[in-house]
Structure 1
Amino acid sequence: MTDAPWGPALLFCPADRPERFATAAARADAVIIDLEDAVASGAKTGARGALIEAELDPDRVIVRVNATGTADFVADMATLSQTDFRTIMVAKAEDPRQLARIDARFRVIALCETATGIVAAEALASLPNVSGLMWGAEDLVASLGGTSSRKKNGRYRDIARTARARVLLAAGAHGGIAVDAVHLDIPDTKGLAREAADAAASGFSATACIHPSQV
């Protein structure tokens, strides 16, 4: 694993909204162009076309691709081979063997957002093509049959805090970066500031954002 070239604020942008690409890149240290959850299944083909046409600095772009083992992942990677973008975030990363088979031209950020992915975090972090890890709270809790990662006061439940710590420790043990999860409550700027400060103090290299106001 190696250090990331970008700074601490990463901003997600749907791949099917190319009119937002430049603004997102200008607002944040790097933009995460999202081909997964942010794009409806019927819009993915058009989103991939928009990615091919995008005029962005490849060093400041991460592309979130669909989970390995899916037809969408194959299509995403075929699209990326037609671009200069070489950093990918693999959604729902779980199987080290599948990530190890990814074309060596790409640096990988493994997004651990299921129970299986969190348990596999250290094995994923140890792969030579994996540059870092990110974790996701809501999908993780959903994979366990839960309903919310947070308590009524907005603080993470213990299961989410445990997952966050495991991802940070796994990344750090293998010399890689760790990216903290998004703060879904956009108006909660106080909670966002608290979590971002804690992330920096704890050793996370970056925090992902879902709205420009969070950057």
Structure 2
Amino acid sequence: MRVTSFDLGPALLFCPADRPERFRTALERADAVILDLEDAVLPDAKAAARVNLIHADIDPERVIVRVNPPSTGHFAADLEALEQTPFRTIMVAKTESTEGLAAFDDRFSLIALCETARGIHAAPEIAAHPLVAAMMWGAEDLVASLGGTSSRTPGGAYREIARYSRSRVLLESGAHGKAAIDAVHIDLDDVQGLEEEATDAAASGFRATACIHPNQVAVIRAAYLPDEATVVWARAVLAAAEQERGVFRFEGRMVDEPVLRHARSVVARVS
């Protein structure tokens, strides 16, 4: 199935909507900025954050707005503010059903953030929603929704429930032709861990990774960019395929259509 066009990645940087002085800088440093009306903004600052959103003078094509969950009282106010802006790519926090997306019309492109047990459970239906262009998952809220205390083991790896949820969001996104966005790496000092997870995300099929600090942008970009040897191989095998019919041997490896699709994905990332 064809994947929905999603060209805002690979590094999507969160920026609190109550810090308007950071908007332009965040957008300059990342591939797209996620102006956050939800968790990054305290309840008593949300009204001011909406005003900042209304007056934000930055490229709407590279802006995502994360609104509060549909189940909260802040959601309606967020929608009212959005109507006064040019921003139309919306990340819906704690998406748990398609009912929560009914407030949007076809002017909007939605990123469903599945970060609770209910959201992961409903991922197939959410991914099928016609306004959903991409899906993202979140580890910390997910574990909290289960009554847990940590998404990671003492060694830093994700616990199995987090790994399952990450895979489920990726699979359901792909099954419905939607893009998938990997979760943030909250340990700002763990550059190696971020690099490993972003590299795995790119190799697994995620289209982007969200981040919470500008210093993480370069690491994510590098992880999504194929190394030179891989690019050379991809271009060579695609060139060889033009002279072959069906399955063929290339550099000691059997090549069929799935391998060629991998090669096309590599070339697309450097085009």
- The answer, yes or no, to whether TM exceeds 0.5 is yes
| SS of the residue 1:31 aligns to | strand
Task: Please name the residue that 2:71 is paired with.
Answer: 69
| SS of the residue 1:160 aligns to | helix
- With over 3 angstroms needed to count, the CA separation of the structure-2 counterparts of 1:67 and 1:195, relative to structure 1, is same
| SS of the residue 2:28 aligns to | helix
- Trace 1:78-89 onto structure 2 (pairs within 5 A): 78-89=80-91
Task: Please name the residue that 1:122 is paired with.
Answer: 124
* Deviation, structure 1 residue 75: 0.5
* Deviation, structure 1 residue 102: 1.7
Task: Please name the residue that 1:187 is paired with.
Answer: 189
> May I ask how many residue pairs the two structures share in their alignment?
215
- Trace 1:38-187 onto structure 2 (pairs within 5 A): 38-187=40-189
Contact 2:183/2:210, CA 8 A, preserved across alignment: yes
Contact 1:100/1:127, CA 8 A, preserved across alignment: no
* Deviation, structure 1 residue 3: 1.6
Contact 2:14/2:33, CA 8 A, preserved across alignment: yes
Aligned pair partner of 1:24 in 23, 26, 29: 26
| SS of the residue 2:54 aligns to | helix
What TM-score do you get using the length of structure 1 for normalisation? 0.98
Identity %: 65
| SS of the residue 2:5 aligns to | coil
CA–CA separation in structure 1 for the residues paired with 2:4 and 2:197:
25
CA–CA separation in structure 1 for the residues paired with 2:178 and 2:159:
26
Task: Please name the residue that 2:12 is paired with.
Answer: 10
CA–CA separation in structure 2 for the residues paired with 1:113 and 1:52:
27
Q: Name the larger-Rg structure.
A: 2
Cα RMSD between the aligned structures? 0.9
| SS of the residue 1:185 aligns to | coil
* Deviation, structure 1 residue 100: 3.4
CA–CA separation in structure 1 for the residues paired with 2:16 and 2:77:
17
Unaligned 5+ segments in structure 2 are: 218-271
CA–CA separation in structure 2 for the residues paired with 1:167 and 1:21:
29
| SS of the residue 2:140 aligns to | helix
CA–CA separation in structure 2 for the residues paired with 1:23 and 1:41:
25
| SS of the residue 1:128 aligns to | coil
Contact 2:17/2:41, CA 8 A, preserved across alignment: yes
Which of structures 1 and 2 has the larger relative contact order (alpha carbons within 8 angstroms, sep 6+)?
A: 1
* Deviation, structure 1 residue 130: 0.6
| SS of the residue 1:64 aligns to | strand
1:127-175 Cα distance to aligned partner (Å, 9 max, x none): 0011110000010001001100000110000000000000000100011
CA–CA separation in structure 2 for the residues paired with 1:95 and 1:126:
11
The letter of the residue matching 1:198 is: D
Contact 2:9/2:209, CA 8 A, preserved across alignment: no
